[in-house]
Structure 1
Amino acid sequence: MDSQTPSFNEKQQHLLHDPSATATEVPPVNNYGPRSYQTQYVLKRTIPVFLTLLAIFYLFPTTFVCHHHDDPALSLRPVTTEGKVPLEIHVMSKCPDARDCLRELIVPTMVKVSEKVNLTMSFIGSIDPNSDAVSCVHGPAECLGDIILLCAAKIYPDVKLWLGYANCLISDYPDIPKRDLVQSCAMEHGLDFQKLNSCISDEGEGIDLLRASIERSQENNVTKSCTVRLAGEIRCIRDGGEWYDCPGGSSVDDLVGDINKLYNASL
């Protein structure tokens, strides 16, 4: 790519950089915690790859209304994967319930039993059967946020890295995918920002990751963010600011107890 970076047009500046945006103060939670509060974001850097990233916005049809429906029975997965208990969360990156799900349940659970869990984060959206175009409930910005998180998980399979990064971004979900947020979270959690950009901007790679993730949620009939599945079954749902469909309870201790039972049964 040419070393000279053209200026963003007015609409692009609005999408990726809003000078009036402020950081949200959120206390860190161990290694998975959201970014530390800073009086100012990290100094802006000119990154040519973001011009390619910007073009991704216009590849997605936009849907702005969040529709939630009852889930039918979900297909089962094996109780363990390589000796670990499969735990999966289905989310939308710009959804407050996803933020609460990570903060209140998933992050503190992983702090306690990460070595026993195979965690997957899948995303909720729509795929046009006629064109394979992808759309997201909260618009193109959410699709881009999903791609950023999928790239992070692909490049950094260590759950402490990608989950910490995901928690950092989603803690400030209204600002996804602003460059300052993406960049400062990467710096805080030790992720190489250039590697993330390469994945996001690679022709087809990021969109293919998102399409496969959405298809996974669709195959399991999941439409609510955040849906938590344990060993292939719905374990809990966070929707509309409430927990429900949590047969074993919605606390961290409840989920940790269930994971330990499944893990010990597989030994």
Structure 2
Amino acid sequence: MDESSFLLGRSSPGQVARKRHSLSNKRRLAAVVAVVMAVSLAAALIVLALPRAWPSPSYPDERNEFSDLAARKGEFKSEPATRNEKVLVELFVMSRCPDAVKVEDVFSNVVPSVHSIMDVQLNFIAALNPNATYGAQCEHGDAECRGNIDELCALKHRPDLPSFWRFLSCLNSHFDDIGRDSDLSLKCANSAGLDTAAFLACCSQSEGRSLLKQSVENALFAGVARSATVFINGKLRCVEDGGWRDCPGGHTPSDFIRDICMAYKGSTPRPSICAQYKPVAPVGADI
């Protein structure tokens, strides 16, 4: 028996009419719901079947980050012209090495002429050893390590390059006492016009050992094991190791003065001695 027959058999005529009307409304609502669901399903199937016409979702933060980097590319320029423009002379040496003294003696005749356009870096040849007295093993013993520290501290606390070279020449003139006589170092520092308080503090405290460690690391990084080796602006220039070698430009003071003058490209006026040498022009520049 269907629902209408069941209701009609148990109700009065008025009740039957009302129940028929309610049943009709329910059937119409069910039909509407069914139609809406069918239409929604059909629409969903159509959308899935069509190719996507909109772009993939983007991530604004990431997109903007990379866009900003691309936009800023080209804004990063080389260091300004006010940077240190001096020609760098690197000496790979040992304080108690006769070959090092020989090279340093040559440069004692170079520095007075071109010190305004050059700088010097000492890189000491040794083996790092944290258990050693000075944090390194030097070929000529602890006295050499101490001599290395004395020279590094004098270079660090010099008022100018000629002052340091006066200190170095003083030390080398008492070669056998380098690193063995602290009074000698103090005497040389005083006569050269160094700040003796800063010099002594450096030599006796951690600063000197840190300078030695850094200088040894520089030599190891450069792969230089012969004292004395000269680099100018990062390029091998000459070696003195029981005799001069690998010195195609010569090894006299005038040869080094010439090369320093020619390598200089800074804005500071060149020393008068450089007038006889034509400077090397930067790539693309006219002189």
Q: Deviations over 1:61-98 (max 9, x none)?
A: xxxxxxxxxxxxxxxxxxxx722211111110011111
Are 2:159 and 2:194, in contact at CA under 8 Å, matched by a contact in 1?
A: no
SS in 1 for 2:231: strand
Structure 2 CA distance for aligned equivalents of residues 195 and 257 of structure 1? 35
* Segment drifting more, 186-195 vs 169-178: 186-195
Instruction: Give the TM-score normalised by structure 2.
Output: 0.60
Farther-moved stretch of structure 1 (159-168 vs 142-151): 159-168
Instruction: Give the alignment's TM-score, normalised by structure 1.
Output: 0.64
Please tell me the residue identity of whatever aligns with 1:109: V
Task: Please tell me whether residue 188 in structure 1 is matched to residue 203 in structure 2.
Answer: no
**1:146 and 2:161 aligned:** no
One-letter amino acid of the structure 2 residue matched with residue 97 of structure 1: D
Dislocated runs of 4+, deviation >3 Å: 128-133
Percent identity over the alignment is 37
In structure 1, how many angstroms separate the alpha carbons of the residues matched to 2:120 and 2:166? 13
Aligned residue in 2 for 1:121: 122
Once the two structures are TM-superposed, the CA of residue 133 in structure 1 deviates from its matched residue by 3.6
Asked whether the 8 Å contact 2:86–2:119 carries over to 1, the reply is yes
Distance in 2 (CA, whole Å) between partners of 1:229 and 1:106 is 13
Report whether the alignment pairs 1:217 with 2:219. yes
256-265 vs 216-225, which moves further:
256-265
| Contact 2:125–2:224 (Cα < 8 Å) also in 1 | yes
Partners in 1 of 2:281 and 2:187 — Cα distance?
40
Please give the alpha-carbon distance, in whole angstroms, between the structure 2 residues aligned to 1:136 and 1:99: 16
Alpha-carbon distance in 2 for matches of 1:148, 1:266: 38
For 1:96 and 1:125, locate their aligned partners in 2 and report how far apart those are by CA, in whole Å. 16
Report the residue type matching 1:146 in the other structure: N
SS, match of residue 109 in structure 2 = helix
Taking the aligned partners of 1:109 and 1:214, their CA distance within structure 2 comes to 25
Q: Give the number of aligned pairs.
A: 185
| Residues 1:162 and 1:127: Cα distance change in structure 2 (over 3 Å) | same
Where does the alignment leave 5 or more consecutive residues of structure 1 unmatched? Answer: 1-80
Give 1:1-267 correspondences, 5 Å limit.
82-103=84-105, 105-128=106-129, 133-156=135-158, 158-177=160-179, 178-202=181-205, 204-240=206-242, 242-263=243-264, 264-265=279-280
Q: Which has the larger radius of gyration?
A: 2
- CA RMSD across the alignment: 2.3
In 1, Cα distance between the equivalents of 2:136 and 2:237? 28
Q: Secondary structure at the match of 1:194?
A: helix
Q: SS at the partner of 2:121? A: strand
